Chain A
C-alpha cells in the first residue's frame, strides 16, 4: 500500500517541532545550529513529499537549492562560531549577550 501524503507531512511537522524545541532550549550554539539544520531537513522532506504527490519536480528542484544554500550557510556559520570562540572562549549563547567585540 502506498504511503499517503499526510503521513510524510506529519513526520515533517514533528521533526520541525523537535528542531524548534532544540533551538529554544539548548545553550550550546553548535547544537542550536544543528537543530536549525534539522528544521531544514524537515522542510526538505515536506517539499519532496509534495513534489511526489503533485507529480511535479519543482519541489525537488527547490530542495536542491535548499541543500546548496544550507551547505554554504553552515560553512559561514561555523566560521563565525569559530571566530567568536577564539575571542570569548565560550560557545554558551547565554554568554554571548553583547554585540561588542
Chain B
C-alpha cells in the first residue's frame, strides 16, 4: 500500500513538473514559431535564442502590482484562476506516456508509465473537460465588469457547445477500441493508429480542441480587440499569468489526448515510447501555433453556427462510419 502510494506520488511529481516546464516553454515556442511564420525573429535577447524569456516573463508577472477591483467578489475573484488551472493538470492523470519502464533497470519490477489507469479513462476526461468551464464563468462574473461578464458567458457557451462534438468524436474511437481505458485504446492501435479509419473524427476532435482551449481561430472570448480582452480584463500579474498557464496547459492536454486517442500514443518503431509520445504531441502543438498564426478569428455567431450546425452532424456521421468499421477492425 505504501509502495503504491510512493510510486504514484513520484509519478505525479514528475508529470506535474514536466507539465509546468512545458507550459512555460510553450510560451517561448509560440512566440518563436509565430515570429518565424511572420518572417521575423521571435524573442532572442534574453539568453541564447531567447530561451530564458519565459523565466523573465515569470519574474515580471510576479513583480507586477496586484489589483483587485473594488466591489469585485473577492473570494471568487481570487479562486477563479486556480479553478481554471486545476482541470488542465488533473486530466493528465490518465494519459499513458509509455508502456512500462524499469528506469534503466533501477526498479525491481516494471512500473506502468501512466499515473493511474482508470477503466473509465475517456469518461474521466469528459468530466474534467466539463469542469473546465467554471474558471472562466466565475472569473467573468466576479470581476464586477460588464465586459468581463459577457466575455465569460460567451467563452463558456462556446466551450460547452464544442464539448458535445468532441465527445462524439471520441465515442468513435471508443467503439473501435472496445474499451474506455486510455491504456487499452493505445494498445488497440498496435497495427494502425485510429487516425486511419477515423480521419473525420480526428479532424472534428482537433477543431473542438481549438475551440475548447479558446485558441485561434476560436479565440474571440479572449482576444484583445474584442470586449477588451474578455473575461480576464480585470486580472493583473500572477492571476493573469495563471489564466495564461491554464490556456497553455489545456492546449497541451488536448494535444496529448489527440495523440493518445488518434495517433497511437507512444507507439512507434525505433525510438523509445516516451520519445514518440513527445514527438507526436509537439507536432500537434506546432499545428496549433501554426493555425493561430495563419487563420483570422471567427465572429461569435459564426463560431456557434459552426459548432452546432456543421460539427455536430459531422460528428454523428463519423459515429456511423465508426460503427461500420468497428466489426472488422477488432
Are any A and B Cβ atoms less than 8 Å apart in their complex? no
